[in-house]
Amino acid sequence: MIDPLLSLAFSMHSCKGVYALLLGSGISSSAGILTGWQIVLDLIRKLAHSVCEDCGDDPAAWYRDSFGEDPDYAKILECITRSPEDRNSLLRRYFEPSKEEQEQGLKLPTDAHKAIAELVAKGYVRVIITTNFDRLLERAIEAAGVVPSVISTPDAVEGAMPLAHTDCTIVKVHGDYLDTRIKNTPAELSQYDERMNRLLDQVFDEYGLVVCGWSAEWDTALRAALERCSSHRFTTFWAARGEPKEAARRLINLRLAEVIRIRDADSFFRELADKVSALEEVDRPHPLSAKVAAATLKKYLPEERHKIRLHDLVMGEARKLYDELSEDRFSLNTPFTDQEFINRVQRYEALTEILQAMMITGCYWGEEKHIDRWVKCLELIANPPGERYILTDGLDLRYYPALLLFYSGGIATVAAQRYKTFAALLTQPRVFFQEEVLPPVLILYPQAVKEELAKRLPGMSNSRTPLNEHIYNLLREPFKEFLPQERLYEECFDRFEYLFALVHADLHEKRGHLWGPIGCFRWRSIFNPQLQITKVIETEIQKMGANWPPLKAGLFDGSLERFNYIKAEFDQFIKRW
């Protein structure tokens, strides 16, 4: 099932300007902005203090007892201020940052406001309905180069440009903080002016809706506007931090809304803007998730300021894959038939596709400072959850996703000639295998799967290296962006497998016996000697000697003598195979 957030990004990208936002106080909470009711309570405390009384823990009750009516925002302001200038100065303190608050990043546009502004600037969002009084959204959108049309009173509705003719319209249904007519109390929130209702009816009828930061608990009139709308031309997406409360659940059911579970508004809108931007870069009407992930990664790699987002993107996807590899999804009690083997291989490949695309892109374009990202990613997936399920004379098949990532990153580093990254992938991740901790180069190799099982894969019945060839075919498409010519792809694939086998043989020999996995390079060199990677490597060594990049990256202890010994022994081994 497709991730609802990705579904929203696809919908927003393909239907530019069709989705309106409905934003509540949760959008501005991380900026330190109080809600309207919190401001009323604080004003009551100031009023009580001005008459030398203590309003206790329930300022609203004190106000009712003292004045015989529910709190009224405008009347409270009149009681504690003497002029419009005093009133204006008092209200600004709630919404505009002091010097100290600016230094702390408070009462300034948040990541959510800035991400929304990006969507507005690119034309993906043109209408925003908000219950907030602050102007953080306006400031963020103006900073992005768009001057929004703001409707904060019923009078402004009548004079407003049609929604279709503005770059952005912000409808502040409860007013603006510098207007004493803002709505706060239950009575004020129970009904809107008819002019505002007509505008809301139009938006809810004609636009898709993205709801975030709004609980729906207190805003009776806004709930009623949503309930009046009988049409559902476009999907409603409801972003929720926890379990929606009763009022929200009713609206979600009424509008058949897609619920998106989020950590907070900042991360939700940042990720949405990034995914829409990635789709824009990919520029396909129905791009795959893997393409979106790779495009997002390309955006983050070049700039140091994105290092946290890069880490969160890569490790977030790695953690998601790790969780999918649980025994709940891949039961150990299922009879392990030939068909079950094929089914599991195909399921693993589908689950790994996104992270695989990120591994290829990251290892190809990433620099040395990014190596740790790919090492940690591979290490996580190479240590699958649960007990080991060892096939008879074969590999625990749950290492297969790690094997795919290993090949993806390894071939990419060879293609980009990033041998420090190559060496790190082969040797740095720690893989817990039985009672040992080993590098992936000694664990992740296709021949560890029983050949008679691997030959059950489509088209592999006559192959001498069936899983190697299957992986070759599987990775061909994602590598076309980097290696468009078949000959170049073959060369890089063979180079990776041969160097990987040599490193394996080197480490294996230190454990008492020289052995290395055989790859496609063996049979390809038999049928076409011109493609013999062993000879290509020999030529490189003769020209560069100790300056050969894999040696300078630290493989084979950095020793030319050690490399020549291992290569000679391994070449004899594969001739006997």
Who's near 180: CB < 8 A, 6+ residues apart?
73, 74, 77, 87
Question: Where does the pLDDT of residue 30 fall: very low under 50, low under 70, confident under 90, or very high at 90 and above?
Answer: confident
Helices within 193-304 (DSSP H only): 194-206, 220-228, 246-254, 265-282, 289-300
**Same domain? 92 vs 208:** no
Residue 338: phi, psi to the nearest 5?
-60, -40
DSSP β-bridge partners for residue 240:
261
**% of the chain at pLDDT higher than 90:** 45
* Highest mean pLDDT (candidates 222-231, 438-447, 555-564): 555-564
The answer as to whether 285 is a domain residue is no
Q: What are the Cα distances from residue 73, in Å, to 41, 181, 206, 392?
A: 10, 8, 34, 76
**Same domain? 244 vs 382:** no
**Same domain? 462 vs 522:** no
Task: Say which range, 84-93, 406-415, 511-520, has the weakest mean pLDDT.
Answer: 84-93
DSSP β-bridge partners for residue 128:
21, 170
**Same domain? 360 vs 459:** yes
Structural tokens at position 492: 């890089």
The answer as to whether 140 is a domain residue is yes
**Same domain? 43 vs 169:** no
The answer as to whether 196 is a domain residue is yes
Q: Is the pLDDT of residue 390 over 50?
A: no
pTM of the prediction? 0.56
The answer as to whether 273 is a domain residue is no
Pairing of β 431-433 and β 436-438: antiparallel
Given a contact cutoff of 8 angstroms between Cβ atoms, the answer to whether 422 and 553 are in contact is yes
Helix (H) or strand (E) holding 540: helix 533-544
Q: Is the pLDDT of residue 392 over 50?
A: no
On the 0-12 / 13-18 / 19+ scale of CB atoms within 10 A, 170 is: buried
Given a contact cutoff of 8 angstroms between Cβ atoms, the answer to whether 474 and 403 are in contact is no
Structural tokens at position 341: 């083997």
Higher pLDDT, 498 or 65: 498
Instruction: DSSP letter for 554, please.
Output: T
**Same domain? 67 vs 183:** no
Q: What is the mean pLDDT of residues 248-273?
A: 92
pLDDT digits (tens, 9 = 90+) for 91-140: 777 777 778 877 787 888 999 999 999 999 999 999 999 988 888 999 99
**Same domain? 254 vs 314:** no
CA-CA distance, 247 to 250, in Å (whole number)? 5
Q: What are the Cα distances from residue 276, in Å, to 7, 140, 151, 539?
A: 10, 18, 27, 47
The answer as to whether 281 is a domain residue is no
CA-CA distance, 395 to 402, in Å (whole number)? 12
CA-CA distance, 67 to 75, in Å (whole number)? 11
**Same domain? 476 vs 405:** yes
Domain C-terminal end among 441, 467, 482: 482
**Same domain? 177 vs 94:** no
Domain C-terminal end among 53, 75, 101: 101
The answer as to whether 277 is a domain residue is no
**Same domain? 412 vs 307:** yes
Domain count, the chain: 4
* Highest mean pLDDT (candidates 212-216, 270-274, 422-426, 530-534): 422-426
The answer as to whether 284 is a domain residue is no
CA-CA distance, 464 to 577, in Å (whole number)? 11
**Same domain? 342 vs 305:** yes
On the 0-12 / 13-18 / 19+ scale of CB atoms within 10 A, 477 is: exposed
C-alpha Rg value of the chain to the nearest Å: 31
Higher pLDDT, 332 or 553: 553
Who's near 309: CB < 8 A, 6+ residues apart?
270, 274, 300
CATH at residue 227? 3.40.50.1220
DSSP β-bridge partners for residue 19:
208
Q: What is the mean pLDDT of residues 172-180?
A: 78
**Same domain? 381 vs 523:** no
CA-CA distance, 108 to 95, in Å (whole number)? 9
Domain C-terminal end among 482, 516, 540: 482
85: containing domain: 36-101
Who's near 265: CB < 8 A, 6+ residues apart?
26, 27, 29, 30, 110, 112, 212, 213, 239
Residue 83: phi, psi to the nearest 5?
-155, 160
Strands, E, within 374-504: which ranges? 431-433, 436-438
The answer as to whether 280 is a domain residue is no
Q: What is the mean pLDDT of residues 48-66?
A: 84
Where residue 512 falls (left for φ over 0; alpha for ψ -120 to 50; beta otherwise) is: left
